[in-house]
């Protein structure tokens, strides 16, 4: 791999965005924001294929859980392993994007 290539830095930026996105999703500030972010993250993770599969509208989530706080709590229930993985991927992406190990 050419550590001085732009592709190396862009890969770092992509990893940073994925990691930060995962952490932002876990910390969304309201039920509406958490629900929308969760649906967006699902669509992005699927690469646009079946982007609406298992997407839940806020109205349906509110009907199911009964309050905005409960919707936020439900959307924020995430796998701690993947949150930690997201943090590590974000840190690795930041490190790679900042130079990729290029000695020049």
Residues in the chain: 104
Task: Give the model's pLDDT for residue 98.
Answer: 66
Q: Is the pLDDT of residue 101 over 70?
A: no
Query: How many angstroms separate the first and last alpha carbons of the chain?
Result: 15
Distance, CA of 14 to CA of 6 (rounded, Å): 12
- Closest to 103 measured CA to CA, from 2, 1, 4: 4
Q: How many CA atoms lie within 13 A of 96 on its CB side?
A: 22
Proportion of the chain above pLDDT 70, given as a percent: 75
pLDDT tens-place string over residues 82-92 = 777 777 777 77
**Angle of CA points 29, 23, 39, to nearest 5°:** 70
Task: Give the model's pLDDT for residue 60.
Answer: 92
Higher pLDDT, 98 or 68: 68
**Total-model pTM:** 0.51
Q: Is the pLDDT of residue 99 over 70?
A: no
Q: How many CA atoms lie within 13 A of 46 on its CB side?
A: 14
pLDDT tens-place string over residues 62-82 = 999 999 888 887 776 766 777
Higher pLDDT, 71 or 18: 71
SS3 59: helix
Domain boundaries, the chain: 6-95
Higher pLDDT, 28 or 53: 53
């Amino acid at each position: 791999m050419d550590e001085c290539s732009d592709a190396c830095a862009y890969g770092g930026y992509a990893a940073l965005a994925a990691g930060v996105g995962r952490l932002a999703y876990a910390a969304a500030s309201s039920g509406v924001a958490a629900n929308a972010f969760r649906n967006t993250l699902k669509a992005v993770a699927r690469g646009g294929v079946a982007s609406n599969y298992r997407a839940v509208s806020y109205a349906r989530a509110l009907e199911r859980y009964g309050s905005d706080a409960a919707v936020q709590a439900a959307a924020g229930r995430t796998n701690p392993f993947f949150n930690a993985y997201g943090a590590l991927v974000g840190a690795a992406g930041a490190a790679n994007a900042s130079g990729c190990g290029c000695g020049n």
